[in-house]
């Protein structure tokens, strides 16, 4: 029995040592986990800071996606027409030249002395000179796009709408009234919406099984008000962007002018800037467009694909 007790004590001591070793390892793993979490949080914070700096440095984008089918080989291609909103602080102007080499020349000069002399607006000052800075305009443009399309089970796209000369809401009411009746092949309408600048309406029904038969017809003779009109019915597709890659792009013909003091009214100052930068002797050239924001205000310039 003494031998048995001695063996049991040895086993107990070994188990105690194993337990302590496991506890030490657990504490080490916890420390490593905390350190890993701390490093991960720091890295995420750095990434967020980098993202913020990118968002501050470059303007916001709004993109319009338009389907473009020219032949059978292009049925899966999409034309991308970006609309880029560029914030303009007070005391700045965007000037777009007809020729890119003029814009490049103005940017390389960096600082420009503009002579302000505009009739009686300067009162006692016969001549006033101000220094403005010229800089390039960098925007983000999409370089790659991937998205998935989903066909709605309850929505239809209604087009070829009549021009009745009534407000959109009134026309939506008439469409809802027609398509909510089962005798017209419709059902209860859950929502209706005019698509921006397209002249098309999306109608969403409350129940399944209403949209598909209407889409199958392709067209429908609809009684709207006192007239009967042939409306086109199409499937309603919704898309989710799964991958969008952007790359910085420099506007070739546009220059940002900053540091413009509000020493003249808005219109005379705009005219004065345009006159100055059209002169060949000042390094300028023919001006295509000029937008000016006075000090104390904010503006937003909208760039299209070929606006410079």
Q: What is the pLDDT of residues 29-72, one digit of tens each?
A: 666 555 545 544 554 444 444 433 333 333 444 444 444 444 55
263 vs 176: which has the higher pLDDT: 176
Residue 158 CB neighbour total at 10 angstroms: 23
What is the rounded average pLDDT of the residues 115-141?
70
Kindly tell me if the per-residue pLDDT of 118 is higher than 60.
Answer: no
Side-chain-facing half-sphere of 214: CA atoms under 13 Å: 32
d(CA 279, CA 260): 19
pLDDT of residue 150: 86
How sure is the predictor about 28, in pLDDT bands with cuts at 50, 70 and 90? Answer: low
Q: What is the pLDDT of residue 212?
A: 94
For 66-70, 108-112, 177-181, which range has the lowest pLDDT when averaged over its residues?
66-70
Higher-pLDDT residue of 223, 296:
223
Instruction: Kindly state the average pLDDT of the residues 173-183.
Output: 93
Closest by CA to 81, choosing from 193, 197, 238, is 197
Question: Among candidates 245, 305, 285, 233, which has minimal Cα distance to 100?
Answer: 285
User: Is residue 260 a contact partner of residue 113, using CB atoms and an 8 Å limit?
Assistant: no
Note the pLDDT of residue 221: 92
Query: 275 or 33: which carries more pLDDT confidence?
Result: 275
Say whether 305 sits in a helix, a strand or coil. coil
Query: For residues 119 and 98, what is the distance between their CA atoms, to the nearest angstrom?
Result: 29
pLDDT of residue 186: 93
Task: Give mean pLDDT, residues 191-219.
Answer: 91
Q: Beta-carbon neighbour count of residue 88 at 10 Å?
A: 19
Q: Is the pLDDT of residue 204 over 90?
A: yes
Going by pLDDT thresholds of 50, 70 and 90, the confidence category of residue 288 is confident
Q: Taking residues 180-205, what's their average pLDDT?
A: 90
pLDDT of residue 235 exceeding 90: yes
Structure token digits, residue 231:
């409306």
Using a pLDDT cut of 90, give the percent of the chain over it.
21
Residue 130 has pLDDT above 50, yes or no: yes
Q: How confident is the model at residue 277 (pLDDT cuts 50, 70, 90)?
A: confident
- pTM equals 0.47
- Taking the C-alpha atoms of residue 133 and residue 109, their distance in angstroms, rounded to an integer, is 9
Distance CA 89, CA 298 (A): 5
Going by the DSSP 8-state scheme, the letter that residue 208 receives in this structure is T
Q: Find all residues with CB under 8 Å of 69, minimum gap 6, and list them.
A: 75, 77
Which pLDDT score, from 0 to 100, does residue 59 have? Answer: 44
């Amino acid at each position: 029995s003494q031998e048995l007790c001695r063996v049991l004590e040895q086993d107990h001591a070994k188990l105690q040592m194993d337990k302590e070793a496991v506890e030490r390892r657990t504490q080490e793993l916890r420390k490593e986990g905390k350190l890993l979490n701390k490093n991960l949080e720091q890295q995420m914070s750095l990434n967020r800071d980098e993202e913020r700096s990118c968002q501050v440095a470059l303007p916001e984008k709004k993109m319009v996606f338009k389907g473009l089918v020219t032949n059978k080989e292009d049925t899966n291609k999409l034309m991308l027409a970006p609309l880029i909103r560029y914030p303009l602080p007070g005391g700045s102007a965007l000037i777009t030249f007809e020729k890119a080499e003029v814009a490049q020349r103005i940017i390389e000069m960096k600082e420009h002395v503009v002579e302000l002399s505009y009739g009686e607006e300067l009162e006692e000052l016969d001549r006033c000179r101000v220094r403005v800075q010229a800089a390039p305009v960098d925007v983000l443009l999409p370089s790659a796009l991937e998205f998935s399309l989903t066909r709605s089970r309850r929505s239809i796209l209604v087009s070829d709408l009549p021009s009745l000369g009534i407000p959109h809401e009134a026309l939506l009411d008439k469409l809802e009234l027609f398509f909510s009746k089962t005798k017209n092949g419709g059902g209860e309408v859950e929502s209706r919406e005019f698509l921006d600048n397209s002249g098309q309406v999306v109608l969403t029904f409350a129940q399944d099984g209403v949209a598909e038969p209407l889409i199958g017809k392709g067209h429908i003779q609809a009684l709207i008000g006192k007239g009967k009109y042939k409306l086109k019915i199409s499937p309603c597709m919704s898309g989710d962007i799964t991958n969008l890659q952007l790359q910085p792009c420099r506007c070739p013909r546009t220059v940002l002018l900053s540091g413009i003091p509000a020493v003249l009214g808005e219109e005379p100052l705009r005219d004065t800037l345009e006159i100055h930068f059209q002169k060949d002797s000042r390094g300028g050239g023919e001006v295509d467009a000029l937008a000016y924001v006075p000090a104390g205000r904010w503006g937003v310039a909208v760039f299209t694909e070929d606006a410079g």
